[in-house]
């Protein structure tokens, strides 16, 4: 095990330099294990940011188990988690609040990491599922199931996933031409997305008001009434897909330097693209199936964590942590802001997340950074 300085990683494209700030110049020490086969770059700032995110998520998680119309003290929450306490405590903590809080954390993490993959593949900070058509496809699919077929919750989720994956696949195929270039992917995504959104809006105008209203709530994205079944769905998806994405992380970072460079360094570019796109799409699909197409997490989480940690490349783990924190905090606000009326969490992610991004951009650009 040795600690050696490594050259600071240069970011891939201009777009990402702009977004990340590109301030890091000092080399970071590298932790090498098993004779150099496994190496981890040790960066105090990154470690601190990740720890902070983890702690904040845990705090939000605990609070969301405790507060509500029936408030439970934190020590009683802990007892209820391990199976002791009053029946009402047990019911609220374990059957009502725990699945919802878990789903919020996991859906947020899934969206965050998927967003990071999409942005890395498209080499564009806007290349999130929102932009490249996945979210549009999912909501069009779901709204079609709700309004045209009048389907059940399960069928709606299925419609969303089919719509999302089919759209992402279509976008990728249409963007394919001697490899997928970032800008083309984003542009094709915007095209398909606009088409799908207009189909969705058209369906909305032709539906009965109450049905359209149901579709609208679903479309915004909501965790209201999340049960164990949904929490387990997203947990299983994360358990299977997140390791795959994390394993692809190193290749993705190499590919940010350009496809030909990555190819020369021995990265199977095409395979990696397809695998990463499939895994990220599946994660987004699972998130949408559970909570609807929640806007902004996938777009903002990777950007925010890069700003906080001042890394220049994609930070997959960080994006997942940031996504988890953002969504669980947003869901807490959505539950409590206008209580007893519960807002869909998508309203909160959009308003708070968007405001925060506006503020970050304002500050960064005023000082002339980025």
Residues that bind other proteins (CB under 8 A): 15, 18-19, 124-126, 131, 174-175, 177, 183-184, 186-188, 190-192, 194-195, 197-199, 201-202, 204-205, 209, 212-213, 216-217, 220, 295-296, 299, 338, 341, 343-344, 346-355, 357-358, 361-362, 365-370
CA distance 97 to 259: 46
| 3-state SS record for 323-358 | HHHHHHHHHHHHHHCCCCCCCCHHHHHHHHHHHHHH
Output 57 or 349, the one with its CB closest to other proteins.
349
Min. distance of Cβ 11 from other proteins in angstroms?
Answer: 13
Q: DSSP character for 97?
A: I
Min. distance of Cβ 314 from other proteins in angstroms?
Answer: 16
Min. distance of Cβ 102 from other proteins in angstroms?
Answer: 24
Min. distance of Cβ 132 from other proteins in angstroms?
Answer: 12
Output 5 or 10, the one with its CB closest to other proteins.
10
Min. distance of Cβ 351 from other proteins in angstroms?
Answer: 4
Q: Strand, helix or coil at 130? A: coil
Task: List Cβ neighbours of 250 (8 Å cut-off, separation of 6 or more).
Answer: none
Output 32 or 336, the one with its CB closest to other proteins.
336
Q: Return the closest-CA partner of residue 51 out of 357, 305, 327, 349.
A: 305
Output 58 or 357, the one with its CB closest to other proteins.
357
Min. distance of Cβ 334 from other proteins in angstroms?
Answer: 10
Output 91 or 362, the one with its CB closest to other proteins.
362
Reported in sequence order, the residue ranges of 7-95 that DSSP labels E, i.e. its strands, are 28-33, 38-41
Q: Return the closest-CA partner of residue 110 out of 342, 313, 335, 281.
A: 281
Output 237 or 335, the one with its CB closest to other proteins.
335
Residue pair 321/115 in contact by the 8 Å Cβ criterion:
no
Say how many C-beta atoms besides its own lie within 10 A of residue 95's C-beta.
11
Token pair in block for residue 118: 């999409």
Min. distance of Cβ 342 from other proteins in angstroms?
Answer: 10
Output 56 or 212, the one with its CB closest to other proteins.
212
Residue pair 286/111 in contact by the 8 Å Cβ criterion:
no
């Amino acid at each position: 095990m040795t600690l050696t300085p490594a050259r600071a990683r240069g970011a891939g494209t201009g777009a990402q330099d702009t977004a990340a700030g590109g301030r890091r110049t000092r080399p970071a020490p590298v932790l090498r294990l098993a004779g150099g086969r496994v190496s981890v770059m040790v960066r105090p700032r990154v470690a601190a940011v990740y720890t902070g995110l983890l702690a904040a998520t845990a705090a939000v998680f605990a609070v969301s188990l405790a507060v509500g119309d029936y408030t439970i003290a934190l020590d009683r929450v802990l007892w209820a988690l391990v199976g002791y306490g009053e029946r009402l405590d047990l019911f609220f903590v374990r059957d009502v609040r725990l699945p919802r809080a878990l789903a919020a954390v996991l859906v947020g993490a899934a969206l965050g990491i998927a967003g990071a993959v999409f942005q890395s593949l498209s080499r564009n900070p806007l290349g999130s599922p929102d932009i490249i058509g996945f979210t549009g496809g999912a909501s069009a699919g779901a709204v079609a199931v709700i309004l045209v077929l009048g389907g059940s919750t399960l069928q709606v989720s299925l419609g969303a996933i089919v719509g999302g994956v089919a759209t992402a696949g279509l976008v990728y195929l249409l963007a394919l031409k001697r490899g997928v270039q970032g800008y083309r992917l984003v542009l094709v995504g915007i095209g398909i997305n606009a088409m799908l959104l207009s189909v969705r809006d058209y369906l909305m105008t032709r539906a009965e008001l109450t049905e359209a209203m149901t579709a609208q709530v679903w479309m915004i994205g909501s965790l209201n009434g999340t049960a164990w079944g949904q929490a387990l769905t997203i947990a299983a998806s994360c358990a299977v897909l997140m390791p795959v994405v994390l394993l692809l992380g190193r290749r993705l970072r190499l590919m940010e330097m350009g496809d030909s460079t990555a190819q020369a360094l021995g990265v199977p570019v095409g395979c990696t693209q397809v695998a990463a796109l499939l895994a990220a799409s599946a994660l987004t699909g699972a998130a949408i199936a559970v909570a609807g197409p929640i806007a902004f997490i996938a777009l903002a989480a990777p950007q925010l964590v890069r700003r906080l940690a001042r890394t220049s490349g994609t930070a997959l783990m960080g994006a997942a942590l940031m996504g988890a924190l953002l969504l669980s905090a947003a869901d807490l606000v959505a539950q409590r802001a206008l209580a007893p009326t519960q807002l869909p969490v998508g309203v909160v992610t959009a308003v708070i997340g968007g405001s925060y991004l506006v503020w970050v951009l304002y500050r960064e650009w005023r000082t002339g950074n980025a």
